[in-house]
Amino acid sequence: MWNDRFAGEAFVYGTAPAAFLTREAGRLPAGARVLSVAEGEGRNAVWLAGQGCAVTAVEGAPNAVAKARRLAAARGVTVDFRLCDLRDWPWEADAHDAAIGIFIQFGPRDVQDRMMAGMKRTVRPGGLVLLHGFAPRQVGYGTGGPPHAEWMYTEALLRDRFADFEIRALRDYDAEIDEGTGHRGRAALVDLVARRPAG
């Protein structure tokens, strides 16, 4: 299903990074080693690479990875793209300065919990997890995202899942988004920036 969605020439979520990422990227150290989870067609990884980050980007849809590679080449940046189903991703411990997940609510809670646990594990002590996705009321907005309120983020859910991290930012808000044809219009969003304790 995802691969079919990415079959055309157009970039389904556009080629510009998520506003959340450009807002929060200043928290990353210079030259940060970043893992991007479910990167899609490359918009966020390519932008981060342009900022000087060393980005590994995991994505399960071959059509998306092919377009992401073309976008990186067109922008003259290098990204380590990995075509891999996230159910098989090894989540190497302490390997990254940050892990980002932007609109990765593609499965039910247990699937998302495993990914969140993996993201927490793969950042080094003092490293950051950045999550950006939809709040439950998004389901009524019809401007993108899965049609399942129970797959969405709430502040309480993220506080619980990141109870052993330091919450640096957590917000639930509405904003206009204009990200390709996939996300367009008023959206109910949740942002999280959480830091693994330095130990």
Ligand X SMILES: C[S@@+](CC[C@H](N)C(=O)[O-])C[C@H]1O[C@@H](n2cnc3c(N)ncnc32)[C@H](O)[C@@H]1O
Instruction: Decide: residue 155, CB within 10 A, 0-12 exposed, 13-18 middle, 19+ buried.
Output: middle
Amino acid, single-letter form, for residue 106? F
Instruction: List residues near ligand X by CB under 6 A.
Output: 2, 13, 18, 38-40, 43-44, 59-61, 64, 85-87, 102-104, 106
Which residues neighbour 125 within 8 Å (Cβ) at sequence distance 6 or greater?
A: 94, 196, 197, 198, 199
Q: Shortest gap between Cβ of 60 and ligand X (angstroms)?
A: 3
Question: Residue 14 or 127: which CB sits closer to ligand X?
Answer: 14
Q: Which is nearer to ligand X, 166 or 175 (CB)?
A: 175
Nearer Cβ to ligand X (20/160) = 20
Q: How far is the CB of 125 from ligand X (least distance, A)?
A: 26
Q: Which is nearer to ligand X, 41 or 97 (CB)?
A: 41
CB of 160 to ligand X, least distance (A): 23
Residue 160 CB-density burial (10 A; 0-12 exposed, 13-18 middle, 19+ buried): exposed
